[in-house]
Amino acid sequence: MTTNASPIDTKAVNVIKGLIMDTVRASNSGHPGGAMSSADYAYVLFKEFLSFDPKDAKWFNRDRFVLSAGHESALLYALLTLQGNLGVEDLKAFRQFGSKTPGHPEHDMTDGVEATTGPLGQGFAMAGGMAVAEAFLREYLDAESAGHFTYVLVSDGDVQEPICLGSAALFGQWGLGRLIAYYDSNKIQLAGPTCRVDNIDHKALFESMRWQVIEIDGHDHEQIRKAILAGQAETSKPTLIIGHTTMAKGCATLEGSESTHGSPLPEAEIKATKIKLGLPDEEFHLPDDVLDTFRSRFAALRNGRQAWDKALAAKLADSAFAAKWENATTPACQRSLNWPEFESGAGVATRKAFGACLGAMMEQLPTLMGGSADLDPSNQTVKFRETVGIFNATTNALGRNLCFGVREFPMGAILNGLALHGGIVPFGATFLVFSDYERNAIRMSALQHLPVLHVFTHDSFFVGEDGPTHQPIEHVSSLRLIPNLLVLRPADARESAACMAVALKQKSRPSVLIFTRQGLPVLELPQPLEEHVGKGAYVVRDPEGAAPEMLLLASGSEVHLAVEAAEACSELKIRVVSVPSMELFDEQSAEYREAVMPRSITRRVAIEAGRTDLWYKYVGLDGKVWGINHFGASAPAGVLKEKYGFTTANLIKFIRE
């Protein structure tokens, strides 16, 4: 049982376990076992250490707590009920439609939930992203205004996911001394004991990655306190507290059983367990003395917030601090930036246009942070890195370049953590073909409504000699399938700048920006270009002196081919439409969509160097799409261009046929 705890703390933990059992039982689904094994640590952390404002869950300088083990949501909801963010009625509505207590925590649904978690390992990575943001802002502003801790609770399942260990290597490398992770090592997962699949010495492993590691009895309150204090005291390394616990601790007969991991406890087991824990035979028992004990720090916490407000008000009288505060608290969507100019007719790869745009952004957005997954020269992030410096919390906390290494999935999740923390404009870059590695983090960006910039270069078979393993075919279409994700594939350098501007205007959705390896001609495009791009599709060329009789639709590197083909086939009276974003175009009014793609024009052709499927919603079943539905090959890009028919001559032939 709980050890080294006062009688009231023991009672409080047992009450939390009762709420966990009743919450999961009420919905007839959920995960009680891990929530019960983590209860002692979470109770001590929330009651004695976590800094927050009881009346304002969004206070800028609060400590962050992330439940990476999202399946233990019943534990977090019980704590938030004691905290006052939820009520017992919310617990009774666990996992029900529209409730504040979904099956896995969702940050935009429930006050006190810092991140949407569930896919294991990502909460850990997001917590590290929050710690990066805190370290930068603490140095950029000051420790009093933006100095707090980030706590994350992880499970056996979390540490088995490669994203967790890949992220952990970065967090040790970056010296995130205010990141404290608690690993609830109950040695049970859904299918059985972890020894069947994992015999890692996590203490040795994390120490090798520059972490402070402390092993404790996770049910001993005094050991928990000492470990948290040691984590707070270590300023140059993140801390991993390994709490050795028992699955479903306190259960009458099912302690240590995997059957408690993913299923409600039987009613007879709940009844017997409540007797064992000294709880009355009633559902959702929450006595006043437990609430009073849990909230004993609330007056001090409120006073701390008031003192912070007063200190901040005084600092804002200083114009230099006020400017920094504005930079840290004004969302990018509320800013207007100046973008580079590009010469008509010049050959510019859109990835190089992105590099130029990144150079403009880094000067105008002092809280822009990000980097590349070990592709700095290819992704055009070298100048950014060399100008703003490499981030390290202990040696260069004002460095804004994050060196992710070959870790696309951790990169995406860390960017989400930066965005969730607030105060940072996050971006990350890699090759488009590796979006598959990063995909679930991108999906979590969209699910959480986070305006993250996910940058991808080398967007088609024009990658060339690296061959089919590096040549994206289905990736643009695949990304377009993710709800609430804005996919932008610009036609040239000018459209690239406009796409960047549109992406930065997004308040509640991430953007995927897709750029070419190969050079493209800078086109004469209609103005105001940002406004046109913001509508997703717009007319680039109409036949001279005549109404259009055919539509030629294209995105990205294929737009200039479409323009050249239309000019060569003047007798066909072709309108060329650039479609940088299907999502934005589909959101426009019926009148605008009709104006750009009139239904009366039934002869339609689309061209894109990727999967053809999604284009049929615009060209119709009788229309034609020139694309590529097979893997590429290893050869120079010019050879592949001819082999796969992405030439003006072939497009002219295709259109006329």
Q: Is the pLDDT of residue 643 over 80?
A: yes
Amino acid at 129: G
Residues whose CB is less than 8 angstroms from the CB of residue 336 and which lie 6 or more positions away in sequence, other chains included: none
Tell me what pLDDT residue 472 has: 98
498-508 average pLDDT score: 98
> 71 labelled as ligand-binding?
yes
510 is an annotated ligand-binding site residue? no
Residue 263 known to bind ligand: no
Start-to-end CA distance of the chain, whole Å, equals 79
Query: How much is the pLDDT for 384?
Result: 98
- CA separation (Å) from 391 to 323, 368, 369? 22, 12, 9
Query: Do 80 and 166 form a contact (C-beta atoms < 8 A)?
Result: no
Crossing angle of helices 7-27 and 267-277, in 10° steps, is 170
Closest CA to 25 of 275, 249, 269, 383: 269
pLDDT at 548: 97
Look up tokens 């080398």; give the residue. Answer: 458
When the pLDDT of each residue in the chain is averaged and rounded to a whole number, the result is 97
Half-sphere exposure of 374 (CA within 13 A, CB side): 8
**Helices vs strands, H then E, count in the chain:** 29, 19
Cβ proximity of 542 and 517 under 8 Å: no
352-371 exposure pattern, b = at least 16 Cβ within 10 A, e = fewer? bbbbbbbeebbeebbbbbbb
Q: Which residues contact 367 (CB under 8 A, 6 or more apart)?
A: 136, 137, 140, 327, 328, 400, 423, 424, 425
C-beta neighbour count of 42 within 10 angstroms? 25
Q: Quote the pLDDT of residue 109.
A: 96
User: Tens digit of pLDDT for each residue in 406-451?
Assistant: 999 999 999 999 999 999 999 999 999 999 999 999 999 999 999 9
Consult the annotation and say whether 156 binds a ligand.
yes
| E-only strand ranges, 298-365 | 347-349
Catalytic residue among 72, 106, 161, 408: 408
31 among annotated binding-site residues: yes
The share of the chain scoring above pLDDT 70, in percent, equals 100
According to the annotation, is 378 in a ligand binding site?
yes
List phi, psi (to 5°) of 123: -60, -40
Res. 639: pLDDT tops 80: yes
Count of C-beta atoms within a 10 Å radius of residue 3: 12
Residue 38 marked ligand-binding:
no
Strand 347-349 to 368-372 pairing:
unpaired
The C-alpha torsion from 521 through 353 and 435 to 174, rounded to 10°, is 160
pLDDT at position 657 is 85
Domains, the chain, ordered by start: 7-300 (3.40.50.970), 332-521 (3.40.50.970), 536-656 (3.40.50.920)
The pLDDT assigned to 349 comes to 97
Residue 261 is assigned to a ligand binding site: yes
Q: Is pLDDT of 286 > 90?
A: yes
Pairing assessment for the beta strands 239-244 and 212-217 based on DSSP bridges: parallel
β-strand pairing of 192-193 with 212-217: unpaired
Percent of the chain with pLDDT over 90: 99
Residue 458 is assigned to a ligand binding site: yes
The yes-or-no answer on residue 408 being catalytic is yes
Mean pLDDT of 259-273: 97
Structure confidence at residue 1 (pLDDT): 75
Q: Which phi-psi region, left, alpha or beta, contains residue 389 (left: φ > 0; alpha: ψ -120 to 50)?
A: left
- Which residue type, as a one-letter code, is found at position 400? R
Q: What mean pLDDT do residues 230-256 have?
A: 98
pLDDT at 172: 98
Cα-based distances in Å from 58 to 62, 108, 305: 8, 11, 12
What are the backbone angles phi and psi of residue 214, rounded to the nearest 5°? -125, 125
Distance CA 450, CA 62 (A): 20
> Of 99, 476, 23, which is closest to residue 270 (Cα–Cα)?
23
Return the SS3 of 577: strand
pLDDT digits (tens, 9 = 90+) for 88-138: 999 999 999 999 999 999 999 999 999 999 999 999 999 999 999 999 999
Please give the biggest Cα pair distance in the chain: 90
Measured in whole angstroms, the distance separating CA 292 from the mean position of its chain's CA atoms is: 37
Summarize pLDDT for 456-488 with one digit per residue, the tens: 999 999 999 999 999 999 999 999 999 999 999
The residue to which tokens 């404009």 are assigned: 425
Q: Is the pLDDT of residue 31 over 80?
A: yes
Mean pLDDT, residues 77-90: 98
Please indicate if the annotation marks 351 as binding a ligand: yes
Residue keyed to tokens 């966990």: 20
DSSP string, 237-301: S-EEEEEE--TTTT-SS-TT-GGGTSSPPPHHHHHHHHHHHT--SSTT---HHHHHHHTTTHHHH
Q: Give the span between the Cα atoms of 623 and 602, in whole angstroms.
A: 8
Q: Answer yes or no: are the C-beta atoms of 135 and 176 closer than 8 Å.
A: yes
> Is 630 annotated as belonging to a binding site?
no
H or E segment to which residue 368 belongs? strand 368-372
The pLDDT value recorded for residue 71 is 98
Phi, psi of 183 (to 5 degrees): -105, 110
Q: Average of pLDDT values for 332-338?
A: 95
∠ CA(116), CA(119), CA(121), 5° rounding?
95
